[in-house]
A and B are shown apart, each in its own frame.
Chain A
């Protein structure tokens, strides 16, 4: 047990080191950092001096070591575009993104699971066929099209919901929350629906196929033979058995929700990390890109680690191949 945990922790650390290396290379080699900092008039002397001051003349491993140490302390330098410490910018925008992601994940779960269960049980009914087709359309509709559509319907035509921003936020320490105001909740509605739709269809389809698999097992057949009610079988036995993989996926998909929030945030002018990142890409603002990459990777690795350890805790037999689980879920 202990050795397994240690091995996984080491693996996670290794992955983070690799990501840090990619970020660092981005930082160091994508465009000359000195050129990005000084104006055209800077003399050769100025440049040399800055180069020395930034430690760009040190040997490569030394520079990388310094980058890792800084990153561990949460320091990623100054944004080229906004001229502020990157960690401050990210800290300010993180609450917006995390609240959006949280609401979307909950939304996807509480609608996706019941729909999936329904489709799994009534696999041949026209409702579940229709649901499946609609879900396929959902997968084929790019996030931004959904967002535009919702804005057009609810903000412009019906004038009932806000189309941009977070509404009024309340500051609790360094965390800014939209959960405590009415306008904050209103502002959440459209973006969270937009962001959750893809995950919703995914969860629905997954629950359905898991249900189909489980329903075929001997275990369920025996339950039926014992004369248990359909209700008890469906929810007491079948659903319970499908939930573990579903929860796993949702956990793993928090990462992709964060990534897809880039698009949602752009459409709804949501002041989160995604909007910050997409601007950084457009403006070639490397420090923000590097920090965002490292941070999102950290979230992914942590979630993966957590899921692995939980799996291990629940069922030691599963320790063999976690890769398989990730594969089916992606």
Chain B
């Protein structure tokens, strides 16, 4: 527990309720400098709520957040924004701002009240946009961009904020496979250079591949916490997600991979082997299914 006190960001026993419903219960999380911590968990587990609480966007009823050893509540909002950035899950409606203007907003916490962004800020914004390959549509308004392009613009804005702690809420949810890898590679590289990051990541394989530690949330509580190998085990995955799975090292990338087999509640009504599904006529019509069923002519060809 020594590291907890020197952590860049630390959430201590956070509790958050909306009326009678507890969205967070005694949640503890910490990320040290140069660490990427992945938040995983089913829908409604409290991932976004936790990130928003850490960002200071919502105020938990219990517990406290510590940013670089200082309690978040005791710091001026602008001071927090100069050190910590949040990439929102759902990009808000942007009212005709161009991508460049939006990224430049990331400089606001670093400017005086009457200061206008200068050449240095422009350069920082440009660099941030180059990193996410959004510079090509810098002058387009955000409403003319696709969901994935917009998401990358919001990542750029967070980078332009030059934070020491970066919080990302499903940063890759709308991205195509190429940009999913590019964005996570970028975050990983920045973390290796000393950034601290906490990211809610939907894709368990991606979370395992990029994160130093994972925190598994379920029903507003931390169900498991630790290195990917310790968190991503079939029993834990089943108890959190209700899905039976197999976990193994991918022979190509060498990273931990989770194969989702079937919802756990179908256990009783179906024969134990998932392949047995191929026996029913409807499933056999899907070529994908027939391939996973195994010993067919196609498997022999391979």
- A-B interaction: no
